[in-house]
Chains A and B, each alone.
Chain A
Amino acid sequence: MSQADLTMEGHPAAAPMSGPIFSIPSKKFAMWLFIIADTMTFSACLFAYGFLRNGAPNWPRPFHSITNVAIMTFILLTSSLTMLIGVRASRAGDKPKAFLWIMVTAVLGIVFALLHIREWMGLIGEGMTMFKNPWGTGLFGSAFFSITGLHLTHVVSGVIALLAVGLRYRTGRYNADDIEVVGLYWHFVDLVWMFVVPLVYLLNLNH
């Protein structure tokens, strides 16, 4: 069947698509679309949190120290730098160095997750659950665990992705483009934390 046969009567045939959209490789573009969609998810959660905090007169301020969250922030920001070093090494074709820095990033992600879980345990130990807490409205627990839990899920997923992609990169099944794609995801996880910290932790500091 020729192109002319496919043309609607009276209309010229559409030009065939040439090259990827925005000149971006398809895998990278798919990751960007996922990131944009995930931005909407986190935005909706954070705005819902803002609506509740604004609307609840007895919003609790349970955090007495920012040491733990400061360490977590430092670890996550540092993991973004190590990810960048890994991406650059993979672009330069230095496979051992790229693998090493990807694994360092994964370890930092694991440390972050462990600190996060330790903090949760501390709050649960003080009597905080999804539906009640000793300090004020029970909405705080559901908002806090939902937002930080969603972020923690992303961190754990990122660590799994880093390990899987890193190992396959080392064996030659994946290339530098795949490292860059998983790097985009990791930076996004870091970016979300930049909004979670002030909204969920720092504004609820009891001092």
Chain B
Amino acid sequence: MANPIEVRKTGDHGAHVTPGIGKDVIVYVCLLVLAGVQFVMAYQNLTVSQMLTRMMFVAIIEASLAVLFFMHLYSEKRSFLIFVVVFTVSVLLGLQYGWTDSNRMINGAPYSEVK
């Protein structure tokens, strides 16, 4: 029985483990299904905030699958994975500061009202 994991010599950086295309196809199908779930959600009778929460939850799963398996972050060194995740999440959390001004716009704080 053939080994599904092939180890091949490549150009500059020595041996790379090259698994078959099967796992990629499974991830691809999962991404298609998840994208389909988002499209179905768009036709549900949900409030904008409910829809936003559910769609973002699905989008984050999709993005995680793409980063880990399509971009092979899963097979990089663990320290690099942690660096990417911690750095990205920190900046995304930092961007949340703007919601206060956004809410003030809709609630009509004195200086944001249209004269």
B5 in the interface (beta carbon within 8 A): no
Residues 1-60 of A contacting B (Cβ, < 8 Å): 22-25, 32, 36, 39-40, 43-44, 47-48, 50-52, 54-57
- B21, B43, B58, B71: the one contacting A188 at CB < 8 Å is B71
Would A202 and B95 be within 8 Å (CB), given that A54-B102, A77-B32, A194-B63 are in contact? no
Would A194 and B8 be within 8 Å (CB), given that A55-B106, A81-B24, A91-B18 are in contact? no
Q: Which residue of A is nearest B12, CB measured? A: A177
Flag if B10 contacts A177 (CB, 8 Å).
Answer: yes
0/1 string, A70-99, CB within 8 A of B gives 1 = 100110011011001100100111000000
Count contacts between A and B, CB distance < 8 Å.
Answer: 140
A100 in the interface (beta carbon within 8 A): no
In angstroms, Cα B32 to Cα A70, docked, is: 10
Flag if A202 contacts B38 (CB, 8 Å).
Answer: yes
A173 in the interface (beta carbon within 8 A): no
- In the complex, what's the smallest C-beta–C-beta distance from A61 to chain B, in angstroms? 10
Chain A residues lying within 8 Å of B2, measured Cβ to Cβ, are: none
Residues 161-207 of A contacting B (Cβ, < 8 Å): 175-177, 184, 187-188, 190-191, 194-195, 197-199, 202-203, 205, 207
In angstroms, Cα B60 to Cα A194, docked, is: 9
Flag if B88 contacts A91 (CB, 8 Å).
Answer: no
Chain B residues lying within 8 Å of A52, measured Cβ to Cβ, are: 102
- A-side interface residues toward B, CB under 8 Å? 22-25, 32, 36, 39-40, 43-44, 47-48, 50-52, 54-57, 66, 70, 73-74, 77-78, 80-81, 84-85, 88, 91-93, 175-177, 184, 187-188, 190-191, 194-195, 197-199, 202-203, 205, 207
- 29 A-B contact pairs sorted by A residue (CB < 8 Å): A22-B79, A22-B80, A22-B83, A32-B84, A40-B91, A43-B92, A47-B95, A51-B98, A54-B105, A55-B101, A55-B103, A70-B39, A74-B32, A74-B35, A77-B28, A77-B32, A80-B66, A81-B25, A88-B21, A88-B24, A91-B10, A93-B8, A177-B11, A184-B71, A194-B66, A195-B56, A198-B55, A198-B58, A202-B42
- B-side interface residues toward A, CB under 8 Å? 6, 8, 10-13, 16, 18, 21, 24-25, 28, 31-32, 35, 38-39, 41-43, 48, 51-52, 55-56, 58-59, 62-63, 66-67, 70-71, 76-77, 79-80, 83-84, 87-88, 91-92, 95-96, 98-99, 101-106
